[in-house]
Amino acid sequence: MSMMKAAVFIEPGRIELVDKPIPPVGPNDALVRITTTTICGTDVHILKGEYPVARGLTVGHEPVGIIEKLGSNVQGYQEGQRVIAGAICPSFSSYASQDGYPAQDGGCSCHGYKPMGGWRFGNSIDGTQAEYVLVPDAQGNLAPVPDGLSDEQVLMCPDIMSTGFAGAEAANIRIGDVVAVFAQGPIGLCATAGAKLRGASCIIVVDGVEQRLEIARKMGADITLNFNQVDVVAEILRLTGGRGVDASIEALGLQSTFENALRVLKPGGTLSSLGVYSSDLTIPLGAFHAGLGDNKIVTSLCPGGKERMRRLINVVASGRIDLSPLVTHEYALDDIVAAYDLFAHQRDGVLKVAIKPF
Amino acid sequence: MSMMKAAVFIEPGRIELVDKPIPPVGPNDALVRITTTTICGTDVHILKGEYPVARGLTVGHEPVGIIEKLGSNVQGYQEGQRVIAGAICPSFSSYASQDGYPAQDGGCSCHGYKPMGGWRFGNSIDGTQAEYVLVPDAQGNLAPVPDGLSDEQVLMCPDIMSTGFAGAEAANIRIGDVVAVFAQGPIGLCATAGAKLRGASCIIVVDGVEQRLEIARKMGADITLNFNQVDVVAEILRLTGGRGVDASIEALGLQSTFENALRVLKPGGTLSSLGVYSSDLTIPLGAFHAGLGDNKIVTSLCPGGKERMRRLINVVASGRIDLSPLVTHEYALDDIVAAYDLFAHQRDGVLKVAIKPF
Amino acid sequence: MSMMKAAVFIEPGRIELVDKPIPPVGPNDALVRITTTTICGTDVHILKGEYPVARGLTVGHEPVGIIEKLGSNVQGYQEGQRVIAGAICPSFSSYASQDGYPAQDGGCSCHGYKPMGGWRFGNSIDGTQAEYVLVPDAQGNLAPVPDGLSDEQVLMCPDIMSTGFAGAEAANIRIGDVVAVFAQGPIGLCATAGAKLRGASCIIVVDGVEQRLEIARKMGADITLNFNQVDVVAEILRLTGGRGVDASIEALGLQSTFENALRVLKPGGTLSSLGVYSSDLTIPLGAFHAGLGDNKIVTSLCPGGKERMRRLINVVASGRIDLSPLVTHEYALDDIVAAYDLFAHQRDGVLKVAIKPF
Amino acid sequence: MSMMKAAVFIEPGRIELVDKPIPPVGPNDALVRITTTTICGTDVHILKGEYPVARGLTVGHEPVGIIEKLGSNVQGYQEGQRVIAGAICPSFSSYASQDGYPAQDGGCSCHGYKPMGGWRFGNSIDGTQAEYVLVPDAQGNLAPVPDGLSDEQVLMCPDIMSTGFAGAEAANIRIGDVVAVFAQGPIGLCATAGAKLRGASCIIVVDGVEQRLEIARKMGADITLNFNQVDVVAEILRLTGGRGVDASIEALGLQSTFENALRVLKPGGTLSSLGVYSSDLTIPLGAFHAGLGDNKIVTSLCPGGKERMRRLINVVASGRIDLSPLVTHEYALDDIVAAYDLFAHQRDGVLKVAIKPF
């Protein structure tokens, strides 16, 4: 049996590189040799033990690579073809998928739904921070990458870009909308880019790091606010003449960003939430207009599947968006522990790290 | 100047019948002689001083009556015609209205929005618990009542029916959905009826009063749960095989009903909130799937306007719904203080009270 | 190799019962022993040679039966379980499916779409008018039938009910809408039932057969018009006070019904088309308001998949709809040629025929 | 009574400048002194007698100007303020408006709808090619213009930009869509810009004039096709790998463009039609997939109202779009007959003509 290197969760505080067998390929699977992957904020939660996964599980959920071997039922692809797959890899045959919620894929059981059930890489099955990854339900999840695009150009598609755009899509942005985006980490930056793609005429972004606010301008932000320097709620209300924004996007996962996103919203507006929260949330009565403001709060988990990936790749290929400024560092897989250390401590202006197994 | 009787807010704890001048009719107004009106839960909040209105304001927001006098610019109606108007009487020319949120009508200012701004009767202008009411922006708000329908048959259209149906509409119910409705007061009962009208195949309703659960069955409930007798969250999850409901409607305005409505929801499901809350709300982390469940929380204020009223009247006229079981008591306007006393204390199985000025 | 009886297309004008091998079961398939199936109008088009299929193909696309054998990858079902599958059996992993159009499933190719590609039974693979049928992509297509329901009660779910309801769903019906349905064959009757389920307050139906108009009343029609007796366009405009209907549903596939459906439509209204047309269509300039009427023309192919079937079965189980009046005749599979003769000539008041292989 | 100059329809073939009284200002009106207006293709239809209007009617429907006098009921504006109003000036109090179709405004009658009823300027009331225009229902229709923007920058908002964007909006474009736009006159160019604003990743445009295709590239077109040089249907299918486009926009009003827009559409795709047709249309059976392709054909009339105008002005102000290349010529109102002559014959590369009364 051939072996490969893989970054696995050992125990809280420890993700380490180990040797593991290369998995066998079932009829609906594809084995992909990873050429580039990355580390996500969620992986840091796993590292710290804040989000529990099985000990020994390979972590990571953002694959760019080459098809090494295709399952016997997977058609229309070739071994040797370069592909990505979404961070969320649903079985599209499930009840939840057919109901419109593939990311909440409940598998084949009568239950129908499993919260975040479509997120399998580095959660319920071995992930992508390894030399090889097994892509389940490959027929629905393998997305070919055109020759003209580099790994780095499509590295954000599986998660960051799909999630950020989903925040803009769920916000139901219309042409001419004013949109506020709270937090400009990688996902918030993609939400900013997504809001521009949907036709917002004014995008106001909030963060505390000037470097991120600068990149935000490149992604489409019209106005940048540093929460260390201004009362962002008061400032956004002032900028909108007291009207509030049509939509706000929360891209961090804190009570303060959630609450501010609600406070700046016009009656009738939509709060689109992308953050992963770690405690109960409070909805302030006044900002919620006592429940009578025709407001909406919507949450989105990263959409996956080959059609979603195809669309995101096309956006990159069209030049509508350039996410290369987000890849600030590169590490070999062998040095992934150092990469985690950099990323977890947000040192050196890191946004995203490219990990190269080979 | 002619005078009329009107129930006005005197001070917290006191709503009394007083004499007031019949108001002059501006070019865009209509003066309507009230033949039937009713008392709403919101009026009780006003009575108790929990929702502040100006002292001396005539209360009430559900008019059925006869056009006494039309403003010079109001066309297509006749004096003597029987009409209703919505509890929410927007100026449809406002920014908020044109943006799709007439109930959040901000008037003509540059502000654009005012939370609940479309609610004027008994809130920002004199209301309907009087012999006469002045309907503003009458061209957009007067809805003719066909001869074949009694006052009582259309008495719920202005508020209860429009609100309850809005809860079902905002829940985005699809054919075959399982829907849970929390609280079966008048609005919850109408939400139940609305869920049936939208094609839900199973409606589970929750209340603590058996009489209300009985009426709920007539409105379309398939399963009734008394929260005094069962753990409703556990029971709804059991009834749905662990799947949860597609949509839940909150029709009361308490933390417990809001929270339960979230706890029974499938990933991807919608919580449609109708209640008027009186304190901050807590979103439990687990029920919210940490923000990753593709869930939606939507709030609705009673839709108004003559087109909405026309549609609701048509539903009544078609026999699709019969809300007459909801009108449990009748009082003369002269006895409105007694009617408030009954309604505020929810005595004698009261659901809705018809008030007759003449 | 075991053999089975199957009704196959021989040549235009001839569908005959022949012996065929029972097919082998691949890893993603299920073999279902048919207990009840039926004949669809489309099958008559095939019989007449108007819709081409391969000679020797087993026809029929509406299966009710028992799982005889499950493929090795199909999970969560048991052999011996009673199931249905949709007339349209998409591979939910395709681009078209993930894009929201599973019925236009293009398979795994780079093409992405194939018009009607999800319709496989009796079109591109062997169908259901046989002792056994092989269900492809069984994980996404097998829908369990609860014990309490008869075969006849769920026999309409795979096609007629799913199609008719889709016509109502695509018409974007809102509470209080006036809806016209043109033609009250089995699909039109289900469209009528669907319009009622979505909250239409007035449903006007048109046909030339009084028996069908009578059944339409049971399905929810408020007003029935016999086109042999009245000018239906003039009458519908009269009934709506010149306003026109909010939505019209075409359920036959002729120029005349298509055109009338457009002529009765209000500006802003939606024409939802279900018919299978056999020649070019003409859009009259006036009825189309020269392209400036904010009108919509939408077409729908029968939605399939286990989640759709689950929902339809639940509607039946809830008692919201009873389609048993539609099954007017029963034949053994051995007598299917006679059944086709009756159905093709629409003799004896036939609506739908139950076919029993065993 | 003061007099003004106005371009009026005399008889087919003749639009001339005449003297007319400046109209009196009713309580809900505003009198606007026109500083810039333009000529639309529809005006040419009027000139030729192809679209009938009353003799003596002032033509034109695109106003930029200064409020000269406000009606007594119009609030929140000042005389002297610079404004625009939409080409479509609905009474937002009508049934059609409240139903979501203000452009099909039926006024106050029981009828409810009038096709194109919201188009009043130069159609049912005096228009904008004059020194002054009376804006009806001014409260809902006057849109202030910020100081920083020139007349020319907002001149397209009332009609061309609102219409073109509506074509993209109605096409239901999603991020990553491939969109084809047929005809690149002023409306088609704005549809191209609108498709880009909604997130299309590839916009293919078709015209026969190279100059227009060049401007199209500035508006966001990725691929331009000259129908004199290529078989556009075959080429678009080739460019999309046989898949077809997600949405196509028809922006001319001919059978050929309508038909081609359908022929290039994927199953499930939307044909968004903006053209004004002058004869019946034919839907080819094959391109329509016999009615089974899950396709949609939607038509849009230019959205009006102050909120729509506010949003369009904001898009201009944001720099997201620059329509100044569309204004190719300028004429004094005194020379409007010459301007019509140039525009009607499409000489000298004309796209849009600015008309200056003062």
Q: Which of C148, C100, C85 is nearest to C310 (CA)?
A: C85
**Separation of alpha carbons B321 and B330, rounded Å:** 21
Q: How many CB atoms lie within 10 A of CB B11?
A: 9
The pLDDT tens digits for C218-241 are 999 999 999 999 999 999 999 999
Per-residue pLDDT, averaged over A52-72, amounts to 97
Q: Among residues 210-249 of chain C, which lie with CB inside 8 Å of chain D? A: 241-244
**Which of D308, D320, D321 has the most A C-beta neighbours within 10 Å, making it the best mutation to test the interface with A?**
D320
Q: D touches which chains (3+ CB pairs under 8 A)?
A: A, B, C
CA-nearest residue to B99 within chain D is: D307
Per-residue pLDDT, averaged over D2-11, amounts to 97
Q: Which of C281, C290, C291 is nearest to D284 (CA)?
A: C281
CB burial readout B224-257, b (16+ within 10 A) else e: bbebeeeebbebbbebbeebbbbbbbbbbbbeeb
**Separation of alpha carbons B163 and B186, rounded Å:** 10
For chain D, give the mean pLDDT. Answer: 96
Backbone angles phi, psi at D70, to 5 degrees: -105, 140
pTM equals 0.97
pLDDT over 90 at A24, yes or no: yes
Q: B281 forms bridges with which residues in the sheet? A: A283
State the pLDDT at residue D112: 81
Which of A106, A244, A283 is opposite residue B280, by nearest beta carbon? A283
**Which of D266, D294, D295 has the most C C-beta neighbours within 10 Å, making it the best mutation to test the interface with C?**
D294
Query: Residues of C with CB below 8 A from A73's CB?
Result: 26-28, 73
What's the pLDDT band for A325 if we cut at 50, 70, 90? Answer: confident
What's the pLDDT band for D110 if we cut at 50, 70, 90? Answer: low
Per-residue pLDDT, averaged over A236-247, amounts to 96
Query: Residues of C with CB below 8 A from A94's CB?
Result: 140
CB burial readout C274-312, b (16+ within 10 A) else e: bbbbeeebebeeebbbbbbbbbbbbbbbbbbbbbbbbbb
The pLDDT tens digits for A113-154 are 999 999 999 999 999 999 999 999 999 999 999 999 999 999
List, in sequence order, the alpha helices (H) in chain A. 41-48, 95-98, 138-141, 151-154, 162-170, 186-197, 210-219, 232-239, 255-263, 306-317, 336-344
Backbone angles phi, psi at C186, to 5 degrees: -55, -45
CA-nearest residue to D101 within chain C is: C268
Tokens standing for residue C323: 């389609």
State the pLDDT at residue A111: 63
Tokens standing for residue A253: 């996962």
Contact (CB<8Å) D306/B107: no
User: Which domains does chain C show, CATH number per domain?
Assistant: 3-85+121-156+323-356 (3.90.180.10), 163-299 (3.40.50.720)
Q: Interior CA angle at D295 toward D289 and D299, to 5°?
A: 125
Percent of chain B with pLDDT over 90: 97
Per-residue pLDDT, averaged over D233-257, amounts to 97
State the pLDDT at residue A324: 84
H or E stretch covering D316: helix D306-318
For chain C, give the mean pLDDT. Answer: 96
**Separation of alpha carbons A321 and A195, rounded Å:** 12
SS3 for A132?
Answer: strand
The pLDDT tens digits for D111-120 are 689 999 999 9
Contact (CB<8Å) A113/B268: yes
Q: C298 forms bridges with which residues in the sheet? A: C272, D296
C281 touches chain D (CB under 8 A): yes
Per-residue pLDDT, averaged over D145-170, amounts to 97
Percent of chain B with pLDDT over 70: 99
Q: Find the distance separating the first CA and the last CA of chain D, reported in whole Å.
A: 20
**Separation of alpha carbons B249 and A357, rounded Å:** 50
Contact (CB<8Å) D291/C273: yes
SS3 for C6?
Answer: strand
Q: How many CB atoms lie within 10 A of CB B91?
A: 25
pLDDT over 90 at A257, yes or no: yes
Q: Dihedral of CA A335/A341/A346/A349: which sign? A: negative
B136 touches chain C (CB under 8 A): no
CB pairs under 8 A between C and D: 153
Per-residue pLDDT, averaged over C142-158, amounts to 97
Which of C110, C113, C268 is opposite residue D268, by nearest beta carbon? C113
Q: In chain D, what's the furthest Cα-to-Cα distance? A: 67
Per-residue pLDDT, averaged over C329-354, amounts to 97
What's the pLDDT band for B46 if we cut at 50, 70, 90? Answer: very high
Tokens standing for residue B311: 């549609």
What's the pLDDT band for A108 if we cut at 50, 70, 90? Answer: low
**Separation of alpha carbons D288 and D155, rounded Å:** 38
**Which of B83, B93, B97 has the most D C-beta neighbours within 10 Å, making it the best mutation to test the interface with D?**
B93
What's the pLDDT band for B90 if we cut at 50, 70, 90? Answer: very high
Per-residue pLDDT, averaged over B193-197, amounts to 98
For chain B, give the mean pLDDT. Answer: 96
Rounded to two decimals, the ipTM of the complex is 0.97
**Separation of alpha carbons D98 and B309, rounded Å:** 11
Helix and strand numbers (H, E) in chain C are 11, 16
The pLDDT tens digits for C107-132 are 765 568 999 999 999 999 999 999 99
Q: Which of B152, B155, B214 is nearest to B189 (CA)?
A: B214
Pairing of strands C143-144, B30-38: unpaired
SS3 for D333?
Answer: helix
Contact (CB<8Å) B296/A296: yes
Query: Residues of C with CB below 8 A from A26's CB?
Result: 73
Percent of chain C with pLDDT over 70: 99
- How is residue C111 annotated by DSSP? S
The pLDDT tens digits for C76-96 are 999 999 999 999 999 999 999
**Which of A175, A197, A306 has the most D C-beta neighbours within 10 Å, making it the best mutation to test the interface with D?**
A175
Q: Which of D68, D42, D251 is nearest to D127 (CA)?
A: D42
pLDDT over 60 at B109, yes or no: no
What's the pLDDT band for C170 if we cut at 50, 70, 90? Answer: very high
Which of A112, A266, A292 is opposite residue B113, by nearest beta carbon? A266
Percent of chain D with pLDDT over 90: 97
What's the pLDDT band for B324 if we cut at 50, 70, 90? Answer: confident
CA-nearest residue to C109 within chain A is: A76
SS3 for D193?
Answer: helix
CB burial readout D243-266, b (16+ within 10 A) else e: bbbbbbbbbbbbeebbbbbbbbbb
Per-residue pLDDT, averaged over C34-47, amounts to 96
CA distances from A71 to A122, A144, C6, C218, C228 (A): 21, 16, 33, 52, 60
A75 touches chain C (CB under 8 A): yes
Query: Residues of B with CB below 8 A from C311's CB?
Result: 174-177, 201
Backbone angles phi, psi at C176, to 5 degrees: 95, 0
What's the pLDDT band for D183 if we cut at 50, 70, 90? Answer: very high
Contacts of A350 (CB under 8 A, 6+ apart): A328, A329, A342, A343
Q: Do D128 and D61 touch, CB atoms closer than 8 A?
A: yes
CA distances from C247 to B161, C191, C271, C273 (A): 23, 12, 6, 11
Residue D66 distance to chain C (closest CA, Å): 30
Contact (CB<8Å) D285/C298: no
Query: Residues of C with CB below 8 A from A76's CB?
Result: 107-110
State the pLDDT at residue A312: 98
Q: How many CB atoms lie within 10 A of CB A163?
A: 26
**Separation of alpha carbons A280 and A298, rounded Å:** 16
**Separation of alpha carbons C48 and C278, rounded Å:** 13
